[in-house]
Structures are given as C-alpha cells and as structure tokens.
Amino acid sequence: MPEPDPEWTAGTAPGTCPSVTHAVALFRRPLDFLTSLPAHGDLVEIRLGPVRAWVACEPRLVHHVLMDPRTFDKGGPLYDRLRTLMGDGLVTCRQEAHRRQRRLLQPAFGPPRVAGHLALIGEEADAVCRAWRAGHTVDLTAALTALTTGVTSRVLFSDSLGAAQAAAVRDSLAVIVRGLFVRTVVPVDALFRVPTPGNRRYLRAVARLHAVVDSLVAERRRDAGCDERDDLLGTLLRCAHGDGAGALTERGLRDQLVTLLLTGVESTAMCLASVFALLAGHPDAERRLHEEVDEVLAGRSVPGPGELARLRYTRCVVTETLRVAPPGWLFTRVTTREVRLAGRRLPRGTTVLYSPYLLHHDPASFPEPGRFRPERWLPERAAAVPGGALLPFAAGNRKCIGDTLAMTEATAAVAVVAARWRLRPVSGHEGPPRPAATLGPRSLVMRCEPRRRTPAGGPPGARPPAP
C-alpha cells in the first residue's frame, strides 16, 4: 500500500543509553513515556532492551498500519509472548490464517447473538452486586472479574464455571497480564527461561489456565451430542470433529478457547473497574448517570433491550472510560517486508507499536484530554471528534471481534450496579498503579452506599467496614 502522506515526520526518543532508559521509562511510567513521544515525530524510534522498535503516534499513521495487516502483521514482543499462551488463536494468528478463523467465530459475536445474551449479562451483574451490603467494602476488581468470567463462560460454554475454576482463571490472569507486560518491555527470552520464582509463577499460571480449558472440553465431550450445543464450544467442536482441510486440531481448539476466555474476561473487567473508579472522582457525571438509570430502569433490576437502547448517558460514560483508560493500551506488529513509513526504511522483521492510550490523549483530537467528560459522546457533540481518533477496539480486519458484546455488557452491568449502589473509594486501598498488559485498577476496593433499599444481614462476598 503506498504511503499516503509524505508530511509525516520521524524521530528518535531521547535518552543517554536508550536500550536501558527507554525500557525503564516504559516499565516505570509507561503512560507518561508514551505521551511524551509525539514531541519527537509522528513515528518515533525507541529501544526495548536490545530491540529497535517504532511507535506510530499520529492517528492517520496508526490507521495506515492497521489497514495494511499483510505488511504489519501480528508479531513483535507482545504477540510473540502471547503465542505461548494462546498459540495461534484468533488474537495471535498470522494474517494468512486469520480469515478462516474469523469467519468461523464472527457469527457468534454479531449484534443478533449479542442481543440474545442481554438477559444473562443482567443475571450475572445482579448476582454479583446482590451480595453486597450497605457500608461494607468490596474488592471491586475481583467482583467485576467474577461478573465478566460469568458472562464469558456462559457465552463460550453455556454454563458458569465452578468456584474453583473461576478462581483459577482470575488468579492466573492477574499473574499473566503482569508477566506479559514485563516480557514485552524487555523482550529477551533467555531472561525468562531462568527458573526464578517470578518465571515459575508465570509458567504455572499459563499451565493452570490451559488445564481449566482442557477440563471444560473434556467435561463437554462426556455428554452425548456434545457438539450439537448452540454455543461457541459447540461451534468449535463441530469444526474439530469435521474432516475437511479446515478441521480444527486439538491444539487449535484449546488456543481459540483460551483466547476467547482471556480476552472476554480481562478487558471488560478492567473497563468496568475504571468506570467506577472514574465515577467516584466525578460526582456530576455520577449524578447524571444515576438519574438516567433510575428513570430508565424504573425499579427493574436489569435492563431489557428497550431500556438498553435508552441508556444513552451510561453508554457515553463507558465510551469516555474507554477513551481515558483503554484496557488495551499498547500493541505490537511486525513488518513482513521492507517498507517505507514516515520517510524511514523499515526492514522486514521490524517491530512497530501503536497505543490507543496515546491517541486518546492527543489534545488535537480531544480538547483537555486528561478530563473525564462523558458529554463528549452525546450525539450532538460526538460529531466534533475527528474520525478514527477513538480506537479502543482497534480498526481494520484485526478489530476486536467482541466490541459489541463488550459495549453491551459494560453498559448493562454499569446500569445494574449503579441502580443499587453508589461506590465510594476507600483511602489506602488504591495501591500504586502497576503497569500490565492491560490498563485498569487491578486492586480497587470500594465502599457500598445503598441507593435503593437493600437486604440486611451477613455479607457473602463483602467485608464489614474497617474499624
């Protein structure tokens, strides 16, 4: 694809010993480091340890990269590491394998199927916050991860996971997203083969996640007519039991399930946790959200399709959260041939990065980018946002397959929780932000203030107020 804009500039991020200082900056204060890069060009060279990499900083340049997946394929430090976890599933597979996989899975994520999941989303959200009690503190990140685990497992397997399996998914994810980030910033495989406690913990977490998925497949296969079920596992089993050239191998089956479980649980949980953290700091937005939820739900615990469509401000809150704190904030690509980009010659095998966080904090696209203002997304104002500036789900043929599910799930879950509870921050519980492969409050603890009459009594899943 020819480069459309010869005006793009290229530069190099400053640093006395870039192979050390860039990795340290990206590790210690990644968001500041990223947002400092556009000052040096539209395409900026950085070092990830010994690896030279280029960060695309300008929105049209990022779209140019995303719309040419044959040249800028899945690869680079993040995806090379993700392959040990997800093999060649839909997120990680190379371009040549992508179309077949996407065609297989796409129908399960289309709007009609997602609309059919609204009731189960409401049930999972209601079950999570029904257990809370007035005045008690709750580990919100864990609760919201339980919610997204419930939704994802019912979409994939038609069933909730058992308590032990759900805990294994949650605990493994926490270790994996942190370990992945370290392996992306310092892409030196030899370091991660040393049997340190941290490396062993990471490998154990990967093995645990694989074991959960294997046991779910084995359980289903014990059922007669196991591949007739109308869920994602049923679709994949039909493909695995077929005998055409496109039949799925056992490894391929596990790769897809691990991929969908991990992406479905993690990103949406981080989005939801960020929503409540941001609302707590923005009382005007919170008040407006509560007014809308009260009016639209009118005493119902969960929204139906009609109510969901009327939750317009709630959707703006979710969208603005995805702008301010996109769960997927840094991604890598690798060039499959020599290519010129922003006037630079990038040899085959070059790592190129893009960051939704960086684009979402560009003042040229979003005035006062650091301010949380859901009103930006009201229909009469959203038209002023430059096309392509908002990119939480990426673009092109590798765009998130779960975008409709995620928006439906987040909007409905925020409404269900906010109808019952006002969540207040508990000081001393924020902890320092720990950069990981996804962005969001990883250990958010909040206090529950009832908005409607709530049941009294012992709190399953909630802790009494601290003395």
List binders of ligand HEM among 265-304 (CB under 6 A). 267-268, 271
**Segment lying near ligand HEM (by CB under 6 A), choices 47-55, 135-143, 222-230, 261-269:** 261-269
What are the residues facing 323 on neighbouring strands? Answer: none
Pairing of strands 10-12, 43-48: parallel
Closest approach, Cβ 459 to ligand HEM, in A, equals: 29
Task: Kindly tell me which of 87 and 459 has the beta carbon lying closer to ligand HEM.
Answer: 87
Determine if 127 is a binding residue for ligand HEM (CB under 6 A): no
**Segment lying near ligand HEM (by CB under 6 A), choices 7-15, 215-223, 327-335, 423-431:** 327-335
Are 35 and 334 in contact, with CB atoms under 8 Å apart? Answer: no
Task: Kindly tell me which of 402 and 459 has the beta carbon lying closer to ligand HEM.
Answer: 402
78-107 footprint of ligand HEM as x/- string (CB under 6 A):
------------xx----------x-----
Determine if 351 is a binding residue for ligand HEM (CB under 6 A): no
Determine if 144 is a binding residue for ligand HEM (CB under 6 A): no
What is the SS3 string spanning the chain?
CCCCCCCCCEEECCCCCHHHHHHHHHHHCHHHHHHHHHHHCCEEEEEECCEEEEEECCHHHHHHHHCCCCCEEECHHHHHHHHHHHCCCCCCCCHHHHHHHHHHHHHHHCHHHHHCCHHHHHHHHHHHHHCCCCCCEEEHHHHHHHHHHHHHHHHHHCCCCCHHHHHHHHHHHHHHHHHHHHHHHCCCHHHHHCCCHHHHHHHHHHHHHHHHHHHHHHHHHCCCCHHHCCCHHHHHHHHHHCCCCCCCCHHHHHHHHHHHHHHHHHHHHHHHHHHHHHHHCCHHHHHHHHHHHHHHHCCCCCCCHHHHHHCHHHHHHHHHHHHHCCCECCEEEEECCCEEECCEEECCCCEEEECHHHHHCCCCCCCCCCCCCHHHHCHHHHCCCCCCCCCCCCCHHHCCCCHHHHHHHHHHHHHHHHHHEEEEECCCCCCCCCCCCECCCCCCEEEEEECCCCCCCCCCCCECCCC
Determine if 393 is a binding residue for ligand HEM (CB under 6 A): yes
Task: Kindly tell me which of 205 and 401 has the beta carbon lying closer to ligand HEM.
Answer: 401
186-205 footprint of ligand HEM as x/- string (CB under 6 A):
--------------------
**Segment lying near ligand HEM (by CB under 6 A), choices 27-35, 262-270, 345-353, 369-377:** 262-270
Determine if 327 is a binding residue for ligand HEM (CB under 6 A): yes
Determine if 153 is a binding residue for ligand HEM (CB under 6 A): no
Q: Count other C-beta atoms under 10 Å from residue 55's C-beta.
A: 27
Determine if 335 is a binding residue for ligand HEM (CB under 6 A): no
Determine if 394 is a binding residue for ligand HEM (CB under 6 A): yes
Closest approach, Cβ 402 to ligand HEM, in A, equals: 2
Determine if 30 is a binding residue for ligand HEM (CB under 6 A): no
Closest approach, Cβ 460 to ligand HEM, in A, equals: 27
Closest approach, Cβ 72 to ligand HEM, in A, equals: 10
Determine if 406 is a binding residue for ligand HEM (CB under 6 A): yes
Pairing of strands 51-56, 72-74: unpaired
* Residue with smallest beta-carbon separation from ligand HEM: 402
Task: Kindly tell me which of 149 and 268 has the beta carbon lying closer to ligand HEM.
Answer: 268
Determine if 264 is a binding residue for ligand HEM (CB under 6 A): yes
Closest approach, Cβ 127 to ligand HEM, in A, equals: 19
Residue of 248, 342, 401, 439 interacting with ligand HEM (CB under 6 A)? 401
Rounded Cα distance between 85 and 91, Å, is: 11
**Segment lying near ligand HEM (by CB under 6 A), choices 197-205, 338-346, 390-398, 439-447:** 390-398
Determine if 400 is a binding residue for ligand HEM (CB under 6 A): yes
Rounded Cα distance between 257 and 153, Å, is: 10
Residue of 35, 71, 149, 152 interacting with ligand HEM (CB under 6 A)? 152
Binding residues for ligand HEM, rule: CB under 6 A, are 90-91, 102, 152, 259-260, 263-264, 267-268, 271, 326-328, 331, 392-394, 398, 400-402, 405-406
